[in-house]
Amino acid sequence: MRRVVALAPDDGASAERKRGSGTKFLRVWDFATARAAELLATTSAIEERTGKKLGVQSLPRHLRRRARSFAPRVTRRRPNLKRTREGRAGDAFRRAREATRRRGALNARRRLNDDGNEVKTLRTHVWHAKRFAMRKPLGWGWIVPSARPGRGRGWRFIMRSISQSAIAHDSSYNTCFVMKGEAKAVRAALVKVVLETKALRTEAFKSGQRASVIHVLSSAKRRRIIAPALVYHARAPNSEDGSEVHIWVHPRVSEAVHKAFSRIKVDENVQYDFKASDAFARVDIIGAKAFEVIQRLVPSIDLYAEQHTQRGIRRFVSMDPRAAACEVKVDGSALENPSETAPTQAEYDASRIASRRAALERPWEETSAIGVKAYSAMLINRGPVAMDGYTLIVSASWNLPLWLGVCQTGAKPAGIAEWLWCARRFGRAAFPDDYLDTKAGSDARAELFDSVSKIKSKMPLGKVSSCLRALEARTKDVKVRRVLRVADEKLDLGTLPSETMVRVNLRCPWAGQPTLGSELYIPNDVQRDAWCSKKSETKSRRRNDTTVGKVSGEPIGYITSVSAPAASVGLASALIDANALKSLTENFSRGKGKVFIMISPPGKPAIPAEAVVIISTEEFDEPWW
C-alpha cells in the first residue's frame, strides 16, 4: 500500500517540536480500518436523512454491474444428468478443477490449427490475448496479436507514443536460422544467396560488431529476391569454434529460405549446418524514449561509451528485467553467471519481494537485492539515431520476463497492424506488402483482392458501393520484374528495362487519403497549377475545376501499403515505373528526390500527393525489420 505524508497546520509555536519529530507516515488501509465504525455510522446517517442509497446501489438497476462469471460454485444446467453420462463412459478423462481454471495455459499448448496445420503461439501469448485482438495470418503458422480492440488506440495513439514515449513489439514470431561451420564456408554460402555482398565483406560484420540487413535470393542463377533478412555473427569467428551466424526472416518465407541455403550446400559442396532454431526471442523498441527504456532495463551498460552506429551490436549481462524495471539495486559482483532458464514470478523468494516492495514504496532509499538471476543478451541499433530504436535478442526462456520488464518501463505494446503503421511513420519498406517483386508479396496482394471479392459476394447487390466495385475491377495481376533497392545511375537516364520499378514514400498534405488498390498517374498542367503554383491576384489555382480530379493515360505505379484512415496527413508506400521518373523529375519536381504525382483511388476523384524516391535520397532502401 502506498504511503501518504500527513502534514499538520503550522501554528508557529510548535516549530521546534516539528523540527525534531521528523515526517509522519500513515498507511491508508490501516487508517481506514481503524475508523471503519465511524465511517459506517456517517454513511448510514447520510442514507437515513436523504432516503437514498450510496455507492453502486444508488444507480438504476440496469446500470449496475453483475460480474458473476468468476464464481466457481454457480449452478450448472442439468448437473445430475451430465454426471451420470460421465460415469457411464468409464475411465473418461476428467480435468481437475485447477486445470479447468487454467484455460490460458492450456490454450498456449495448442499446436494445431482448425485446418490441421501446425500453429505456434508466442511465449507472451496469454499476456497479449488479454489486451489485443489475436489472428492467424495465412501462411505464417503463428497466432499473433493484431491490434488493440475498440476505439481510442489507433493511428494517433501510436504516432503520439513514438514522438513522446516508446513502442515495444514482440517479434519472436520471425524465424531464426542458425548457420554453423568454418568461417570461410559460412561466408561463401552467404555470398551465393545474398544480394548485398558488399555488406558481408566489411570488417565490422566479420568481427561481430555490426549486423547487416540483406535480401536473400532464390538461387545464384535466377537471382530473384525471396525476402529481406537480418544477419549477424552470434559470436566473433575464430579458428577453434568456427563461425555461428543468425539469420532472421519472415515466417511466411521460412521454407523458401531453407530451400535456398540447402540448394547451395548441395551444389557448391560446402560443409556447414543450417537449421531453424526456436531457442531465441526478439523484442523491438522504438520511439523517442527508447534510449531511456534500455538504460532502465540494462543499468550496467554505458551507451555513451561508444558512438551510436547503425546496426551496431552490444553484448551484455544484466539482472532480471523485472527487477531492473523496478529499479532494484543489485551488486554487480554478486550477480550469478548468466542463466539460460528464466525464473518464474512464483520463484521469487521473500527477500526479492521485500526488496521490490521497498523500491516501490521508498524510492529515496537505495536497496540491495540478493539472489537475482542474470541473463545474457544482444542489443542491436535499428538506425543511425536513438529514436529509430533497438532490437533485443535473448534466450527464448527470458522472452516473457524481458517483455514484462519492457512494459513496466512505460513502453506501449504494439501488434502486427500497429507495427506496420510504424513502418509508414519511418518510411521503411514492410514485408511482404511492399515487395511485389517476390512471390510472398504477389500472393499477399492476391489474398487481399480475394477477400474483397468474398465481401462483395456476401452483400446484396443494392448494398455494394461503387468504391467496392471499382476496387474489385482492379484485381488484375501486377507484373513487377525488378525493384531497384540500391542507387543506380541508369535511373536518371531512364534506360532501365521494362517492368523495373522503384519504391517511393507518398504524402498527401493537401487533401484526401491514399487507399489500397489506388493507382498512380502522371499529372497534367492544370493539376500542377492547381496544387503546386503560388496563388496571386492575377492567377487563380482553380482547385474547384472538375478536370482537376480526372486522370488519363496508363498507370505508372501502384500503392502497396497505407496509413490508417484517421491520419491527419495520409502516408503510403508505392512502386513507380523507373523509366517514368525521368519525365516526372523534369516536369513535376519539388526538390531533391521529390516529385508531384496524382493518386487515383478506386471509385473516387484523383487526389494530389508528393512522392519521395528512396534511392535518390538514400544509398539503400532499407526494409522494416
Q: pLDDT for 192-219, tens place per residue?
A: 888 888 888 888 888 888 999 999 988 7
Distance CA 144, CA 56 (A): 38
Three-state secondary-structure class, residue 591? coil
Mean pLDDT rounded to a whole number for the chain = 78
Domain spans of the chain, in order of start: 3-61, 175-278, 286-394, 439-617
Beta bridge partners of 274: 179
Say if CB 465 and CB 583 are below 8 A apart: no
Pick the more confident residue, 549 or 535: 549
Residue 104 pLDDT > 60:
no
Residue whose grid cell is 525521368 = 582
Phi then psi dihedrals of residue 373, to 5 deg = -75, 155
Which burial class, exposed, middle or buried, applies to 134 when counting CB atoms under 10 A from its CB (0-12, 13-18, 19+)?
A: middle
Question: Residue 540 has what pLDDT?
Answer: 62
pLDDT > 60? residue 345: no
Considering the entire predicted model, what is its pTM? 0.76
Classified as helix, coil or strand, 429 is strand
% pLDDT > 70, the chain: 74
Strand partners, 348: none
d(CA 143, CA 134) in angstroms, rounded, equals 7
pLDDT band at 353 (very low <50, low <70, confident <90, very high): low
Q: How confident is the model at residue 544 (pLDDT cuts 50, 70, 90)?
A: low
Residue type, 338: P
Distance CA 229, CA 214 (A): 5
Task: Specify the higher pLDDT residue, 422 or 236.
Answer: 422
Position 399 confidence tier, pLDDT thresholds 50, 70, 90: very high
- Res 103 pLDDT > 80: no
Q: Identify the weakest region by mean pLDDT among 113-122, 219-228, 303-312, 319-328.
A: 113-122
CA 404 to CA 1: how far, in whole Å?
A: 21
- For the stretch 18-49, pLDDT in tens is 444 455 667 777 777 888 888 888 888 888 88
pLDDT of residue 346: 44
Q: How far, in Å, CA of 423 to CA of 399, rounded?
A: 23
CA dihedral 461, 465, 470, 476 (to 10 degrees): -60
**Residue range 461-480: mean pLDDT, rounded:** 77
Read off the pLDDT of each residue in 118-129 and give the average, rounded to a whole number: 88
**Tens digits of residue pLDDT in 556-592:** 888 999 988 878 888 999 999 888 888 888 888 888 8
Strand-pair partners of 5: 25
Number of H helices, E strands in the chain: 22, 23
Q: How many CA atoms lie within 13 A of 38 on its CB side?
A: 5
pLDDT at 407: 92
Residues in the chain: 625
Phi-psi region of 279 (alpha: psi -120 to 50; beta: other; left: phi over 0): alpha
Give residue 322's pLDDT.
83
* Continuous H helices in 466-579: 466-473, 490-493, 525-531
Residue 88 confidence class, pLDDT cut points 50, 70, 90:
low
Distance CA 548, CA 24 (A): 73
Helix/strand/coil for 293: helix
pLDDT over 90 for what percent of the chain? 19
Mean pLDDT on 381-396: 90
- Long-range own/partner contacts, residues 582-587 (CB < 8 A, 24 or more apart): 582/492, 582/493, 582/494, 583/494, 583/522, 584/522, 584/611, 585/492, 587/528
Mean pLDDT of 142-153: 80
**How confident is the model at residue 5, as a pLDDT?**
36
Outline where 109-174 has alpha helix (H). 125-129, 155-164
Q: What is the pLDDT of residue 18?
A: 47
In 18-131, the DSSP E strands lie at 25-27, 120-121
pLDDT value at position 380? Answer: 92
Residue 552 is predicted with a pLDDT of: 83
d(CA 308, CA 290): 13
The more confidently predicted of residues 621 and 145 is 145
CATH of 175-278, one of 3.30.565.10, 3.30.1360.200, 3.30.390.30, 3.30.70.1400: 3.30.70.1400
Weakest mean pLDDT among 33-42, 62-71, 99-108, 322-331: 99-108
> What's the whole-number mean pLDDT along residues 79-84?
62
Which DSSP symbol is given to 287? S
pLDDT for position 220: 61
C-alpha cell at 129: 490475448
